[in-house]
A and B are shown apart, each in its own frame.
Chain A
Amino acid sequence: MNIPKITFIKINKKEILIVIGLLILALTSYLFINNQNPGAKVKIEVNQRLYGTYDLNKTQEILVRDNGGNILLRSLIINGKIHVISSTCKDKICVHQGEISLSGQTIVCLPNKVVITIINDADKIDGVLK
């Protein structure tokens, strides 16, 4: 087996500049996106369609179903926070993500294509309630 000689290139200025540029990009986009206000409502979308919006201050259990009526996941709103109790997906990342309560925060269940987003009252809700 003739393995080509590995050329070890040292980290140079160009690369350090790229890393710093990336970190600056991350910081600026963080400042743009980040607003740590407690949200008022919860928006649930399934496959990019609005499933419903719910009041975050009312304790309630929400069953999210697909078009065929099969339950995709169960979520619970309690003490102004929402978390996913159980889901039909395999990796259960949405369950392990825990509680969210600040506006802009999301719980995403990729296998089921369910997105739970916290929104402010002022935010416009486009679409029709199901």
Chain B
Amino acid sequence: MKNHKHIVTIGVLLALSLIFAYLEMILPSFLPNPAFKIGLSQIPILLTFYLFDLKSSAAVSTGKVLMMSLLFGYFLTYIFFVNLSGAIFSILFIGLSQQLKFSIPMTSLMSSLGHNLGQFIIIGFTLGWNIALFYLPVIIVFSVLFGLIIGLISQSLLNKIEKRI
């Protein structure tokens, strides 16, 4: 860890991500399947990635899964591992798009695709691949759509943050 400010900022971003995740949990979903989420909690993770580095955003992402599972009582259950796999894959995909020099909306899209892919792999191995395949087209379309929207929100936020520093 570099300095105190770094740690505090990451803590605040993690808290923000938890609040977004909670909001998404309690708000009624307008998507075809109530399990689908817009991914508002990805905004702080993307901000962490662009303000610091991949390691810090990995800490926020896995920290979010861990804290949510402890808060809502599903630590070390099946759902916890599904979410953890999603978080790990989304970070891997952010790292991949860093290597490929993608723009911010595209990085967000990749992270959203990675999140779903990670969850699919666990669900496919435990519940059968035909369920995962049935939802594939819808998942891709929503990943692209909401990934880009979340990416554009993050981009405008980063623009504003950069001006303040």
Contacts and interface: CB of A to CB of B under 8 A. Distances in A.
Binding between chains A and B: yes
Interface in A104-130: 104, 106, 108, 110-111, 113, 115, 117
The SS class assigned to the B binding surface is helix
Interface in A23-52: 23, 25-27, 29-30, 33-34, 45, 47-48
Contacts, number: 99
Contact of A93 (B34, B72, B74, B155): B34
B23 interface: no
Interface residues of A, number: 37
B140 A22 contact: yes
A67 interface: no
A12 B100 CA distance: 12
Interface in B35-87: 35, 50-52, 72-74, 77-79, 82
B106 A11 contact: yes
Given A9-B104, A15-B102, A111 B78 contact: yes
Contacts of A47: 126
A113 B126 contact: yes
A23 B126 contact: no
Contacts of B144: 19, 22-23, 26
A6 B103 contact: no
B34 A33 contact: no
Interface string B121-165: 001001110010110111011011000100000010011001001
Interface in B1-60: 3, 5-6, 9, 25, 29, 33-35, 50-52
13 contacts: A1-B5, A11-B103, A23-B144, A29-B136, A33-B133, A33-B137, A34-B137, A47-B126, A97-B35, A104-B134, A110-B82, A110-B123, A113-B127
Interface of A: 1, 3, 5-6, 8-12, 15, 18-19, 22-23, 25-27, 29-30, 33-34, 45, 47-48, 90-91, 93, 96-97, 104, 106, 108, 110-111, 113, 115, 117
Given A6-B158, A33-B134, A47-B126, 17 more contacts: A5-B162, A15-B106, A23-B144, A26-B141, A29-B140, A30-B137, A33-B137, A45-B127, A90-B72, A90-B74, A93-B33, A93-B35, A96-B34, A97-B35, A111-B78, A113-B127, A115-B128
